[in-house]
Amino acid sequence: MAEVELVSSSEAASPPNTEDMSMMKEVATRTAGVSRLEMCIQCGTCGGSCPSASAMDHTPRAIFAMMRAGMREAVLQSNTFWMCVSCYHCVVRCPQNIHIADVMYTLKGMAIEANQYQDSTAADFSQTFIGMVEEYGRSFELGLASRHYLKHFPLRLTSMAPMGMGMLARKRMSLVPTRIKNMRQLKTILKRAKELEAKQ
């Protein structure tokens, strides 16, 4: 009787057994501070610690392995970094002290630049949020939610009205955006950050 080899879905989706470190080096370089990305030992602690792992098509561990294998397009089309909620559980528990959440931010930016994401919902939300921070220095919740729901979930907008009215009544949300003080300083910081990013 022939033996049947059982292969798990995670093993079936594993990257080829070759190395192309160019993407990993690029991500490490573009990540703020010292990412320690090259120190990943594939232990899986990050995925086991992540509250959003069940919604990800690949765990962070798998994404790092895919980067090491040069699977650039597959990495940038993944939903993994869009599902990251920046809780930093993975960072705190990583035995190699890899700055995983910061790497997820880098991958978001790279996916937007390359126009490689499969679903524009999260990317559009991110861009709208960034635009508001650049304009006002902070998020404008009513404007952010309105734009997001009108573009992606127009039929759900009415169901959000009771929550919105409650937030307005308790003064937890404003009808009009307000700018932070010293907006000029923030614009200078953001301009310098973009200049530094362009040099990388």
Residue whose C-alpha is closest to residue 121's, from 85, 150, 161: 150
Direct distance between the N- and C-terminal alpha carbons of the chain, in angstroms, rounded to an integer: 58
Q: Which pLDDT tens digit goes with each residue over 115-139?
A: 887 777 877 888 888 899 999 999 8
Q: What domains can you pick out in the chain, each with its CATH number?
A: 16-118 (1.10.1060.10), 120-200 (no CATH)
Q: Which pLDDT tens digit goes with each residue over 39-80?
A: 999 999 999 999 999 999 999 999 999 999 999 999 999 999
Residue 123, token pair as written in the block: 């990317």
Q: Which pLDDT tens digit goes with each residue over 81-126?
A: 999 989 999 999 999 999 999 999 999 999 988 988 777 787 788 8
Residue 103, token pair as written in the block: 């790497």
State how far the alpha carbon of 104 is from the alpha carbons of 4, 17, 138, 157, in Å.
38, 24, 22, 29
pTM here is: 0.66
Q: Which pLDDT tens digit goes with each residue over 150-191?
A: 888 888 888 888 888 898 889 888 889 999 999 999 999 999
Position with higher pLDDT, 40 vs 4 = 40
State yes or no: pLDDT of 19 exceeds 50.
yes
46: exposed, middle or buried (Cβ count in 10 Å: 0-12, 13-18, 19+): buried
